[in-house]
Amino acid sequence: MRDSAALQIIRRSGTLIGTVLAGVINLYNPELIVIGGGISKIGNLLLAEIRREVLKRAYSYTTMGLRIEFSPIVDDVGVIGAVHFVRDWVFTVDGVNISEVDN
């Protein structure tokens, strides 16, 4: 009985996440969506539900070649994201990313 309830929660969570991601995908048309953090520990059932909902709701041209994956980095994903954000902020001056300028 408890397993059935847990499966329902996972499926419902995947549906909700997939619904939100479909909107983001329709706006930005990314090639890759990476889902990180503790939620990735749930596994393939959640990922399958997310993908199913995205394919159902997103425009078909935005899902061609789209990959949705869990990050292999589970525990430190927030810290890594913050470091990248600060790095990009530090090396950007008036809209120009200094780290990308050729010498």
Q: Computed from CA positions of residues 18, 20, 23, 24, in that sequence, does the dihedral angle turn out positive or negative?
A: negative
Phi, psi of 46 (to 5 degrees): -65, -45
More confident residue, 4 or 87: 4
Q: What digits encode the pLDDT tens for the residues 48-93? A: 999 999 999 999 999 999 999 998 876 776 777 788 788 777 777 6
71 CB-near residues (< 8 Å, 6+ apart): 34, 35, 36, 37, 40, 77
Among 3.90.700.10, 3.40.50.2000, 3.90.226.10, 3.30.420.40, what is the CATH number of 2-95? Answer: 3.30.420.40
Residue with tokens 């159902």: 56
Q: What's 36's DSSP letter? A: -
Is residue 103's pLDDT more than 70? no
The domain locations on the chain are: 2-95
Residue 96 β-bridge partners: 93
Is the pTM of the predicted complex or chain greater than 0.85? no
CB atoms within 10 A of CB 87: 11
Give the tokens for residue 37.
């953090």
